[in-house]
A = this chain, B = another copy of it.
């Protein structure tokens, strides 16, 4: 129930804007360009390509993610009356343009690398073929979502990889950048192999396993730790008890006492350590539990973890069963953004490129061909879409005439499985969390190179 309080001069803000507004989630320049195109009658077919210009030094590859959100957006993209009225109020747009915008639908096609596929610099993650205004308008949203979800899936894969055979769960909702990020993150993390999320809404939206037990505040609200453990276990017998609120080793003794008291009714699954030296503490805790005959009680740790700290703990042989990873994975702390771009590469059948220094664009619709040998990826070739090159073509047609094709509907768990299979085929140094030297080889086909040179020459002659 929305309360209708209003104070004069106060514009009440929504907790989160509704999906009807998504068409306005765009940079103003997309709309000014659209009006110019409208008045110029420039609506012939364009091809735009979305790719990451260069890999961050901390990433040997990226795990493509976010396509499903993009397709959902494109299927439902319309301007509400309310949105059109707002645009009219800006005083920059003509009535005839706004009327045209009122009928706007995305009727183009999308070719994309399936979610969960490893990709490299300059490889198109998706390509849009549509009338120029349609392909232009969607730039901001499409970049925003593919950037975020690919960024986070790529980070999470590293965290999961650092903890082979262990459980990694997502605790990041509280410090990720807003609600949308935290929700999309949980889905991206699932694709990357994360076992569960603490984010209940993400669990509901994406059918993900959800997990969580208790905070320090629960312990503190009770008179003492023992009372808190007893009370919580009576509601959730198979829980994980948080033992570091006051002193980790004293906390463990209370768990052991509880096991003595409850006897066969003691079904606590594990304990969680959230502070201190996790290597030393996990060893002492393991020993104390084992000495008390509680070998089945597992040890979970959390607190400022990332792939590097986890790898160190694993290497040192820390007896840890699971990791709760929050902020560092949630904001992709070492690489919070990437040089992702969405570039016009063809208009009205002519290849396009840009000559700005250090920012080359490969012209025309493209395909990525991935060669495999003995079950491992060997190299990629970026070629023209219609080329017939050795290797498996990565981009699939997922939407046509604004409608998803069967390849555009992929079950989330199938994507997760596929991500596991695909990343297992990366050369070992590329699948490592440390920088690979040399990087994975990505070539440009001779035909595409020739096309690029030819367009450049034609242009410079003008």
Interface of A toward B, CB cutoff 8 Å: 1-3, 5, 7, 9-19, 21-22, 24-33, 35-37, 39-40, 42, 46, 48, 68-69, 72-73, 75-76, 78, 83, 86-87, 90, 92, 132, 136, 139-141, 143-145, 147-148, 171, 173-184, 187, 198-201, 203-207, 210-218, 220-221, 224, 231-232, 234-236, 239, 244-247, 274-276, 327, 330-333, 336-338, 340, 342-344, 347, 352-359, 403-404, 406, 409-412, 459, 462
Contact = CB atoms under 8 A, between A and B. Distances in A.
Given A78-B1, A173-B144, A181-B180, A32 B245 contact: no
Nearest to A326: B337
18 contacts: A5-B404, A16-B180, A21-B205, A25-B200, A27-B199, A30-B212, A32-B239, A35-B235, A36-B214, A39-B235, A143-B174, A176-B177, A178-B178, A178-B179, A180-B181, A246-B355, A275-B356, A330-B337
B245 A354 contact: yes
B247 A355 contact: yes
Contacts of A73: 15
A32 B200 contact: no
A293 to B, nearest CB: 27
A200 B24 contact: yes
Given A27-B174, A245-B356, 18 more contacts: A1-B78, A10-B411, A16-B18, A17-B179, A21-B205, A26-B199, A28-B211, A29-B214, A32-B239, A36-B232, A83-B204, A140-B199, A144-B178, A220-B354, A244-B356, A275-B359, A327-B337, A333-B336
Given A215-B33, A216-B354, A275-B357, A14 B72 contact: yes
B1 A76 contact: yes
Nearest to A170: B27
Nearest to A151: B177
A220 B181 CA distance: 33
B217 A136 contact: yes
A17 B201 contact: yes
Contact of A27 (B1, B200, B207, B234): B200
Given A29-B215, A211-B28, A76 B36 contact: no
A406 B5 CA distance: 11
Contact of A212 (B29, B76, B203): B29
A352 B221 contact: yes
A344 B16 contact: no
A136 B235 CA distance: 17
Nearest to A196: B28
B176 A24 contact: no
Contacts of A30: 212, 215
Contacts of A357: 275-276
Contacts of A143: 174-175
A217 B7 contact: no
A145 B330 CA distance: 14
A231 B275 contact: no
A198 B35 contact: no
B174 A184 contact: no
A189 B176 CA distance: 18
Given A33-B218, A140-B173, A27 B409 contact: no
B206 A13 contact: yes
A174 B140 contact: yes
Contacts of A347: 220-221
B201 A25 contact: yes
Contacts of A27: 171, 173-174, 198-200, 212
A113 to B, nearest CB: 18
Contact of A221 (B16, B344, B404, B410): B344
Nearest to A227: B40
A203 B144 CA distance: 17
A184 B173 contact: no
A40 B218 CA distance: 12
Nearest to A340: B175
A32 B213 contact: yes
Given A29-B214, A356-B274, A15 B72 contact: yes
Contacts of A15: 19, 22, 69, 72-73, 76
Contacts of A462: 224
Contacts of A340: 174-175
